[in-house]
Structure 1
Amino acid sequence: MTFQSPTSLSDEQLNIQELKAQLETFAEHQKQEFLNHHPITDLVLGRSDYIDQLLRRLWSASELSNQTYLSLVAVGGYGRGELHPLSDIDILVVSRKKYPPL
């Protein structure tokens, strides 16, 4: 399987199994690029860009982009564009509306 840009995924492909397969394919692609001596900074930035595209696609598909009072913010290493393999993805959802504590 060749990895796809997350922006090209259909709504039907936005399920856990397909997304997991896409992430694994992308990770394998990056591993091969690393073994072919591709610059590490490009790989780290590329992984961050890929996750950016994926989160934007999921945000849009869930119609959260229509909720103007919500923002999705990348924080931590991911927020700095430094997403290494196996790193966690730190995100923050910010709302202008008040919600009760969970």
Structure 2
Amino acid sequence: PAVTHVDYSARVQTVDRRTNPRYHGLLSAFKARTGCGVLVNTSFNVRGEPIVCTPEDAFRCFMGTQIDLLVCGNAFLEKSAQDASRTEDYKNRYALD
């Protein structure tokens, strides 16, 4: 599953409504829509590239991967609503470990 590392470990994190109401609201809305109250929180980069640093980096990585949704500040982007010509295929660019 996407939530485990290669050694099958995971770093579970919890979100408190009082200390992080915005993220808690996102999780609650996601659960209401999908029935699953879990999101993956991981480094945001593609193998071989540095971690995303800017909104432009985030959009490029989002469009070049199999990520379906991107939340960045107040922006909520669905891949299916984006211009397909902005898609870049990262899958074959970097060798697997």
Bigger RCO of structures 1 and 2 (CA < 8 A, at least 6 apart)? 1
More helix by share: 1
Give TM-score scaled by structure 2 length.
Answer: 0.30
Give TM-score scaled by structure 1 length.
Answer: 0.29
